[in-house]
């Protein structure tokens, strides 16, 4: 794709394309060529104010919040259709912007369409369950539970699945009847700008969806300190998440926090080594290693460790690395130079701390340009090493061995994070036992990473709280209201009326 094919767009506020008052734009750098391929508008406090005000006005005028679920669903289905129509363009923009292999980007875009359809179905179902009766212990009263939209919400997302993670928030929020201000990562905003174009094309009422691009300090910070928001949903690093929680606490509004992780894959010695190696690689190298739920800590049972590592080295070295627009590519560059430097610093430190480099650790020789990091595996990694404790967010796998199930579970749970975990064994009883023992929000049995919009997503401990996706994703954008009615013909008479 030639650079000129990257659309130049403005901010989308109140149903209009608006240039930032500062007239500033941020460069879009392709992580493969390291060249500028476009620009995005650098929104700031005035645009955030206008976007929050547009979302607030649209929420209270009822143009969206008062529609039936079925009416909202028809818009969500139109959005899904447009996403499908534009799949090739969206996938290419995602790859050019983020560096993920085109086959993975295409998968993301399918999931974007699928997520809008899923929440369209749920929005329709809600019409039938708008008021759910609840049985009470007193015949004088009846009660119903009503699901109402929360209000205008701020949705801030990360760079690793730019359009998909934004959708995980936007689709349920719109399905619930909320109005939205979306703030994607400044590193990868191209597909979210196209999302705004789609909202315009399907004729979403003005102000229902607003998009402000810009940096965290200039656009994100004023957004999270805005008054009038009903909720902030955030996906990003634990450090930024904690800052946002503090701001939300000042406003007294709820947050959903999807933060970092350092998840563990446990491989028992009865596992098929080839299958387990495949999941170990997919668990850490997919999306160029930039996955919050990456099983970036690998525990291998001692008896098979030698065979396992030999096979892992061989297969990791055969991964096709290169131009992410090549359909066969399985590992592209990481998103930006800053991330590349962060990852290489981790690798350097792991070496100096005494971890054994099994494979990788540098730049692929055939790729002198681009933010590439070879698929890297360290073994003999000790629990006190930074590589074992901290999120690298790159294709770097840290491994250690274990002898007993109890030891494996203890090591897996000895982390400040609690997003995901995975276990591979032929023993179904053990598999279930370990799944229950892992302290996290997502567990994969005999695999790692598959993700479906039908099931809840989220973590515990420093990985955050709240859940996205599934029915939980929808209810997290709803005010759950009880309406209780006094139905008795008799007077209540707590204070006797006949004096
Ligand atoms: P980040 O925290 O740097 O940025 C995330 C978003 O927050 C961006 O849009 C950024 O502009 C914005 N932001 C930055 N400072 C802000 C501020 N002060 N106020 C408001 N907004 C601000 O994270 P990132 O580097 O984009 O993403 C990587 C991180 O995201 C990793 O830690 C990863 O694990 C995590 N992540 C978590 C999940 C999950 O589901 N738990 C999913 C994907 C990514």
Confidence at residue 478, expressed as pLDDT on a 0 to 100 scale = 97
**Average pLDDT over all residues of the chain:** 97
Contacts of 214 (CB under 8 A, 6+ apart): 20, 26, 41, 42, 43, 44, 47, 183, 186, 220
Beta strand pairing call for 356-359 and 478-486: unpaired
Q: What is the C-alpha separation between 99 and 101, in angstroms, rounded? A: 6
Question: Does residue 112 register a pLDDT over 80?
Answer: yes
pTM score, whole prediction: 0.97
Q: Is residue 245 exposed (0-12), middle (13-18) or buried (19+ Cβ within 10 Å)?
A: middle
19-46 pLDDT, tens digit each: 999 999 999 999 999 999 999 999 999 9
Q: Mapping DSSP to helix (H, G, I), strand (E, B) and coil, where does residue 202 land?
A: coil
Question: Does residue 499 register a pLDDT over 80?
Answer: no
Nearest Cα residue to 282 out of 233, 235, 315: 315
Residue 240 Cα: closest atom of ligand 1: 2
Confidence at residue 87, expressed as pLDDT on a 0 to 100 scale = 98
Catalytic residue list contains 258: yes
Catalytic residue among 117, 258, 374, 391: 258
Give the pocket of ligand 1 (CB within 6 Å): 156-160, 165, 183-186, 215-217, 220-221, 224, 235-237, 240, 243-244, 258-261, 292, 391, 393, 419, 459, 463-464
User: Distances in Å between the alpha carbon of 372 and those of 90, 211, 281, 320?
Assistant: 23, 31, 17, 12
Cα of 273 vs centre of ligand 1, distance in Å, is: 35
477-491 pLDDT, tens digit each: 999 999 999 999 999
What ipTM, to 2 d.p.? Answer: 0.97
Confidence at residue 64, expressed as pLDDT on a 0 to 100 scale = 98
Catalytic residue among 256, 264, 292, 329: 292
Contacts of 189 (CB under 8 A, 6+ apart): 28, 40, 97, 162, 213
What the chain holds in terms of domains, given with CATH numbers, is: 3-259+463-483 (3.40.605.10), 264-445 (3.40.309.10)
Q: What is the C-alpha separation between 41 and 368, in angstroms, rounded? A: 31
Q: Which tokens in the block code for residue 263?
A: 């998840």
Confidence at residue 498, expressed as pLDDT on a 0 to 100 scale = 80
Q: What is the C-alpha separation between 358 and 26, in angstroms, rounded? A: 39
Contact 73, 121 (CB under 8 A): yes
Say how many residues make up the chain: 499
Catalytic residue list contains 439: no
């Amino acid at each position: 794709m030639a650079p000129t094919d990257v659309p130049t767009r403005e901010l989308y506020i109140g149903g209009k394309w608006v240039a930032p008052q500062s007239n500033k734009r941020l460069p879009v750098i392709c992580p493969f060529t390291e060249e500028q391929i476009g620009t995005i508008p650098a929104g700031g406090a005035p645009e955030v104010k206008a976007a929050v005000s547009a979302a607030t006005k649209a929420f209270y005028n009822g143009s969206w919040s008062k529609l039936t679920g079925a009416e909202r669903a028809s818009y969500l289905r139109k959005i899904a259709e447009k996403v499908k129509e534009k799949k090739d363009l969206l996938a290419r923009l995602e790859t050019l912007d983020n560096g993920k292999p085109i086959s993975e980007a295409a998968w993301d875009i399918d999931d974007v369409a699928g997520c809008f359809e899923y929440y369209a179905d749920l929005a329709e179902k809600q019409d039938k369950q708008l008021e759910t009766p609840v049985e009470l212990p007193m015949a004088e009263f009846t009660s119903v539970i009503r699901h109402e939209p929360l209000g205008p919400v701020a949705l801030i997302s990360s760079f690793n699945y730019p359009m998909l993670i934004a959708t995980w928030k936007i689709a349920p929020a719109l399905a619930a009847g909320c109005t939205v201000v979306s703030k994607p990562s400044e590193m990868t905003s191209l597909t979210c700008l196209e999302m705004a174009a789609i909202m315009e094309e399907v004729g979403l009422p003005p102000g229902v969806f607003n998009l402000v691009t810009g940096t965290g300090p200039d656009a994100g910070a004023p957004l999270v300190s805005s008054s009038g928001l009903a909720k902030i949903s955030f996906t990003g690093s634990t450090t930024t998440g904690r800052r946002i929680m503090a701001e939300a606490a000042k406003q007294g509004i709820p947050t959903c926090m999807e933060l970092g992780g350092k998840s563990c894959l446990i491989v028992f010695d009865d596992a098929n080594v080839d299958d387990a190696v495949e999941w170990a690689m997919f668990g850490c190298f997919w999306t160029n290693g930039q996955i919050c739920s990456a099983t970036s800590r690998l525990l291998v049972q001692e008896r098979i460790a030698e065979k396992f590592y030999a096979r892992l080295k061989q297969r990791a070295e055969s991964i096709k690395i290169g131009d992410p627009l090549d359909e066969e590519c399985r590992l592209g560059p990481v998103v930006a130079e800053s991330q590349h430097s962060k990852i290489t610093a981790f690798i350097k430190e792991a070496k100096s701390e005494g971890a054994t480099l099994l494979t990788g650790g540098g730049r692929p020789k055939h790729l002198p340009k681009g933010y590439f990091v070879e698929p890297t595996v360290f073994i003999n990694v000790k629990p006190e090493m930074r590589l074992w404790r901290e999120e690298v967010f790159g294709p770097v796998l840290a491994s250690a061995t274990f002898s007993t199930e109890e030891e494996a579970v203890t090591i897996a749970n000895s982390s400040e994070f609690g997003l995901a975990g995975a276990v591979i064994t032929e023993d179904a009883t053990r598999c279930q036992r370990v799944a229950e023992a892992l302290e996290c929000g997502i567990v994969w049995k005999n695999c790692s990473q598959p993700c479906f919009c039908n099931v809840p997503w989220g973590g515990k401990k420093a990985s955050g709280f709240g859940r996205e996706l599934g029915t939980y994703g929808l209810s997290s954008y709803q005010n759950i209201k009880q309406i209780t009615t006094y139905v008795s013909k008799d007077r209540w008479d707590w204070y006797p009326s006949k004096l």
